[in-house]
Amino acid sequence: MTSYAGRVTRLIVGLSLLGAALGVPLAHSAQDLAMPAPSFSCEAANNAIERMICSDPALSTRDRTMAVLFAASRTDASGRGLSQQQALQRQWLKTRDKQCSNGDMHACLVNAYDERLNQLAVAALFQAPDTALAELTRQDSRSAPLYEAIYRYATIENDVDRATAVERLIAPPFEASHDKPWARPLSGIEDAHGAASSDKNFSTFLNVASVSDYALTMPCSALLRRPGLIGVLGSVYGGAIDGQLIRTDCEAMTARLQKVDRLTKLAIAAQPFCPGTIRFSLGRDFDKTLLVIRLHRTDLLKAKALDINPDAPDENNDEPEKAVDKPHFIARHQASIRDAGNELATYYSSHFGVPSALAKEQALQAVSAIISGAYNLCERG
């Protein structure tokens, strides 16, 4: 057994024992990753890419791991519907076959698999934590303990046990980051134990760690399991460095909201280019608003209610300058606003159990927040 294989095996066994002690079920076993064959039948392999995957143990293992992680991430973060991973997986397969058909096929496949596996490991962290953490460790041993810390923080209920478990995992990166010039937000947090002791402190640490070159994506499931962590999505520095803060996979791990996305694009397209570095912070705050809407955290929406009449017809005018302010935008896009509101109301009812009348009210509030947020991207009214 290689030293790496032994390390991964010890990680899986250790996680399983810790999960059992904490009452946390850890899906899938080490045997899932031990099989040398890919997830598909090599006897039916009908193209050069599939034949190469079958002939290469490392690629076969990647393919099997991907099947486990994909299956675990098909349910959305709310647990009440499908995520967008199936559509993303289909697109990935098409892109893989197109890009890797020529040139150095093996190198292309390794890169393609590793990129997608990283996305799926984050997405499946709370459904298949043993497999996900083993894959994240294989790809980046520096960042993997932080993903385990996120998992432990969101799943351990006892405050003392949570802080102890998370402190152990984040102590090295905390010490490495604490005295850096960009670690100012950590100035009021004395040590790793303090960083693990509250939602606010842990969120701050994760953002500083992301700026410190720890490659992190916040699993959407963590934000739903531990709602206080949603503060990790806000701006921190008030400038370009906010563009390096931790992101989430919530768009991929929630239902497709096609009409909401269309309204968002229309509202953004109506804005002028925003100069200056403040646009990074404003953009991050707008992204947070969009994710808050997807996660049904309407209690966090602070936008003033807009004068929207869902029964009014669109204003027939395609001149961009006519959407220079919110009232003109609303007048021109009544149909899109109505469609987005109806889609959100249905989503809130089906995924979060909100009564119909309240869902419609909250959906209208969310639509107002989308439009207001877009019109604040350049700090204009």
Q: State the DSSP H helix or E strand holding residue 6, giving kind and residue range, or none if neither.
A: helix 3-22
Q: Using a pLDDT cut of 70, give the percent of the chain over it.
A: 85
160: left (phi over 0), alpha (psi -120 to 50) or beta: alpha
Q: Using a pLDDT cut of 90, give the percent of the chain over it.
A: 68
Distance CA 229, CA 82 (A): 23
**What are the tens digits of pLDDT across the range 350-361?**
999 999 999 999
Distance CA 75, CA 81 (A): 6
State residue 276 phi and psi, 5-degree precision.
90, 160
Comparing CA positions, the residue from 290, 250, 261, 254 lying closest to residue 376 is: 290
State residue 206 phi and psi, 5-degree precision.
-60, -40
Q: Is the pLDDT of residue 42 over 80?
A: yes
Residue pair 236/245 in contact by the 8 Å Cβ criterion: yes
Tell me the pLDDT of the chain averaged across its residues: 87
Predicted TM-score (pTM) of the model is 0.85
Q: Is the pLDDT of residue 314 over 80?
A: no
Residue pair 362/353 in contact by the 8 Å Cβ criterion: no
Residue 90's contacts (CB-CB under 8 Å, 6 or more residues apart) are none
Distance CA 270, CA 249 (A): 26
Alpha-carbon distances of 36 from 20, 61, 63, 317, rounded to whole Å: 28, 6, 10, 61
Distance CA 132, CA 128 (A): 6
**What are the tens digits of pLDDT across the range 194-216?**
999 999 999 999 999 999 888 89
Which residue carries 């598909």 as its tokens? 40
**What are the tens digits of pLDDT across the range 137-168?**
999 999 999 999 999 999 999 999 999 999 99
Task: Report the pLDDT value the prediction gives residue 26, as an integer from 0 to 100.
Answer: 41
The sign of the torsion formed by the CA atoms of 192, 197, 202, 203 equals negative
Residue pair 146/168 in contact by the 8 Å Cβ criterion: no
**What are the tens digits of pLDDT across the range 269-305?**
998 877 777 788 888 999 999 999 999 999 998 766 7
Q: Is the pLDDT of residue 9 over 90?
A: no
Residue pair 63/165 in contact by the 8 Å Cβ criterion: no
Task: Report the pLDDT value the prediction gives residue 210, as an integer from 0 to 100.
Answer: 93
Task: Report the pLDDT value the prediction gives residue 305, as an integer from 0 to 100.
Answer: 72
Size of the chain in residues: 381
